[in-house]
Every structure is written in C-alpha cells, then in structure tokens.
Amino acid sequence: MEVCHLLHLRSNDYMYFTEDSLRRKAIDKALVKMLAIDMQPGSIVEDKGFQDFLKVIDPKYIPPSRRTIMRDHLPGLYRNATEKLHTQLMKVEYCSITTNLWTSQATMGYITVTCHFLTDDWELKSVVLETVQIEDSHTAENIASTLLCITDKWNITDKICCAITDNASNIVAAIQHNKWNHLPCFAHTLNLIVSNSLQDVPEVAALLQRCKHIVTYFHRSTKATDKLTSIQSRLNIDNHKLIQEVETRWNSSFYMLERIIEQEEAARTTLCLLNRNDLTISSEEIEVMKVIVEILQPFEAVTREISADSYISGSKIIPLSRALQRLTCSSKKLEVQNLKDNLLQRMNRKFLNIEDNMLLAAPTLLDPRFKKIAFSDFGNAAKVTQYIIREIAASLRLDDSDSTDSTEVEVIVKDASPTDESGLWDFLINK
C-alpha cells in the first residue's frame, strides 16, 4: 500500500514537472516570436520593466538570456519559417518578384528581393526572400548573378513570369541578362516624371526652395515652433506641423505645399512677430502654390492608388496613365503652364506604346472593371483579345481553330468601370 502511494506521488510530480516544462517552452517560443514580429531587440529580456511584467504574468517563469535567444531560439525560428516558405513556394507554378538596390547609413550596398504569388485559395502573398549585401561594383552582371543566386536558393528561377524594378539602367540590364520579363515600377516612373518636371520649371523650383527654407527654420527653432503653436490656437487653426520635402519622394513636395497653404496665416504671422519677414510668402505666390497643388492632385491620388500592397495593381496602370494625361491636358490653369506642358511631355514619352505591353494590356482587358474601355485605341484592345485567345488555346493544348471564337469573346468583354470621387475614373464612366 505504501509503495503504491509513493509511486502515485512520484507520478503526480512527474506530470507536474512535465506540464511545467512544456508550458515554459511554450512561453519561450511565444516570447521569441513576439520579438521577431514586433522587431524588438533581444536585450528586452534584460530590461527591468519587462522582467517585472513577466513576474506578474508568471512569477515562476524565468526568460531565456539574451545570448540564448540570439544563439538558439531565433535561428530555430528562422529555420522553421524558411522551411515553411520553401514548402509553400514548391506548390507555386508562377510568381513575380520586385527588387531594389539601396544603401545603408553605413554606405553599404544591399539588394532586397520580394516574391509575390497566389496560394491555392487565391490569396495574394508577398514575402521578402533575401536582403543581401553586394560587395562588388553594381554592374549588371554582378546584380544578375546575385539575383540568380537568391532565386535558385528558393527554387523559383523558372517560375518568375515578371520582375519589377526601378528605372536604373544597371538593374534593368540585370533582369534582361537573366531572361526575365521586366516591368518598370509605375510609382517610380511617376516619381521621375513629377520630380523632374518640378525642377525643370525655374519659377516652380524657386518656390519649392523657399518653402523648404521656411520649413527648415521652424524645424530648427523651438522658439518658432512654440510661437506657431500659440498662433494656431489663437487663430483656431489646426495644430499641424509643417512638412519637409524629401528629395527622393515627389509627393513630399506636394504635402509640403499643401500644408503651407493650410498654415499660411499662422506661419506668416509667426514669421512677422519673429522679425523673419524675409521668409514670408506673398499672396500671389500662395495662389501659384494652390494651382501647383491642383495640377499635382491627380498624381498624388494615383501614387496612393498604385502603392496599395494588398491588391494586384497591374491592371490599373494603363487606365491610370490615361487618366493622368487626360486630367493634366484638360487643366485650364495658365499660371504654371510650363509645369503642365512639362508633365505632359514626360508622360507622353514614358507612356508611349504602353498599351502594346501584354504584361499590362492582358490583365487590363481581363479586369471586369475596365475591359476594352480602358484602351485609347480599340485596335490595341483587339490585339490583346487575340493574344489572350492564343494563350488560352496553348494552355489547353488546342489549335487556334478550336479556340473560343472572337465574337463570343466580344460578348464577354463588356463595359464595366469603377466609381470613385477623385476624378481619375471619369473617362471610363463617360465612355
């Protein structure tokens, strides 16, 4: 009897310690996952506030050391994630990649590759595959070799149907070297169009420079910032800070102008009270700024539209490029006519033959919101229709003669257009 009782006690102790050990391992796993998801440093486990928090949650729990996390737990988490992604990519038949070269604050060159694909449930997935340092010179051959190493590692080299990059000649040549279809990033193309146009019109460039000086003054002077806040409250104006232009993002110039227009009265009053009349902007210049903002408003709307990362945007590029050209051309503002003309000239060059690019034209025609009405030339729409018919026939291993008749496709391709209040889609609605 005593032996049985002793065995029963030992069994309970074993179960207790086993459950306790499993619970601690589960907490360790959740802790490391939290650090990875929230991008927290491993040193957080040494912070007194975090340790006090853990004591409240579970006084018996002792978190792993920073060294254990960095040496054992995080590498294990990375291996599990990569194995899961490898398995997922094995099931993918087609994918696309986006890639970009960038320089760190330590002036070291890196390249990042992101893969985009659809799951069996038609869910769009975007995953960063690698960020690696390029130690050699950024020639097309070196970039191509680095990209190929990454795609080979993930077994997607032969699955890539398109690679999207910026317009830099070396990375474009690298994509061509690897024999992948290439598309220039539409957002980057817009950035070049607007940024270069703003700089090529002297009066606009000078006005932007003056606005930058104003914003810089307020950002560097706590006295000026405090005074501006006081004036805003007195004038019952929204307490918004001025926005500084970022050289690599054209829309920052737009937001800078927009904010200065909003804060015109408060900013002018503050500058006068601080004896900085040299920085004030006249009423005539404010009116010119309003015209610039009005002309650039569609470009800002398109930049936001195309930058959404939760939806496929390839089918929008042709209709959006047409909308920008139409809206810019229809503008009646004469104050900055040179800016308008410059924008149109650059768009005409960048968007030339865009409807002949099947990587853009085919998804546009297949998008139920656009179909044929998105094309400026119905002849181009007819060519895309025939291209799609041939692709379907090839995929079904049929002869062109057995494929869907073009008149039947014509019935399918009916007018359909999105609705929104930005004015971008008006040309589709009024088609």
The secondary structure of the chain, three-state, reads CHHHHHHHHHHHHHHHHHHHHHHHHHHHHHHHHHHHHCCCCHHHHHCHHHHHHHHHHCCCCCCCCHHHHHHHHHHHHHHHHHHHHHHHHHCCCCEEEEEEEEECCCCCEEEEEEEEEECCCCCEEEEEEEEEECCCCCCHHHHHHHHHHHHHHCCCHHHEEEEEECCCHHHHHHHHHCCCCEEECHHHHHHHHHHHHHHHCHHHHHHHHHHHHHHHHHHHCHHHHHHHHHHHHHCCCCCCCCCCCECCEHHHHHHHHHHHHHCHHHHHHHHHHCCCHHHCCCHHHHHHHHHHHHHHHHHHHHHHHHCCCCCCCHHHHHHHHHHHHHHHHHCCCCCCHHHHHHHHHHHHHHCCCHHHCHHHHHHHHHCCCCHHHHCCCHHHHHHHHHHHHHHHHHHCCCCHHHCCCHHHHHHHCCCCCCCCCCCCCHHHHCC
CA torsion, ordered 194, 419, 313, 411, to nearest 10 deg = -130
Q: What is the pTM of this model?
A: 0.79
Q: What average pLDDT does the segment 274-282 reach? A: 90
Quick one: pLDDT at residue 313?
81
- State yes or no: pLDDT of 331 exceeds 80: no
* Residue 410 pLDDT exceeds 50: no
Report the pLDDT averaged over residues 360-384. Answer: 90
Nearest to 148 by CA among 180, 124, 184, 187: 180
The β-bridge partners of 411 are none
Lowest mean pLDDT among 128-137, 240-249, 394-403: 394-403
Query: What pLDDT shows up at residue 144?
Result: 94
Task: Compute the average pLDDT of residues 397-425.
Answer: 48
- Give pLDDT, residue 68: 87
Q: Quick check: 83 pLDDT over 60?
A: yes
Instruction: Indicate the pLDDT class of residue 397, thresholds 50, 70 and 90.
Output: low
Residue 20 pLDDT > 70, yes or no?
Answer: no
Average pLDDT over residues 353-379: 90
Sheet with 160-165: strands ordered across: 124-133, 109-118, 95-103, 160-165, 182-184
| Residue 19 confidence (pLDDT) | 59
- Which pLDDT does position 195 carry in this prediction? 94
Residue 10 reports pLDDT greater than 50:
no
Give pLDDT tens digits for 28-66.
Answer: 888 888 888 888 888 888 889 988 888 888 888 888 888
Q: Tell me which long-range contacts 57-65 makes (C-beta under 8 A, separation of at least 24).
A: 58/27, 60/20, 61/24, 61/27, 63/28, 63/31, 64/28, 64/31
What six digits make up the tokens of 176? 């061509």
Q: How many residues does the chain have?
A: 431
- Residue 404 has what pLDDT? 46
Cα 246 from Cα 168, distance rounded (Å): 20
Indicate left, alpha or beta for 273 from its phi (over 0: left) and psi (-120 to 50: alpha): alpha
Residue 206: its pLDDT value, please? 92
Mean pLDDT over each residue of the chain, to the nearest integer: 84
| Dihedral of alpha carbons 356, 359, 361, 365, sign | positive
Residues of the chain with pLDDT > 90, as a percent, come to 51
Residue 207: pLDDT over 80:
yes
pLDDT beyond 50 at 221: yes
- How confident is the model at residue 431, as a pLDDT? 55
Q: What is the pLDDT of residue 145?
A: 94
Q: How far apart are CA 150 and CA 272, in angstroms?
A: 58
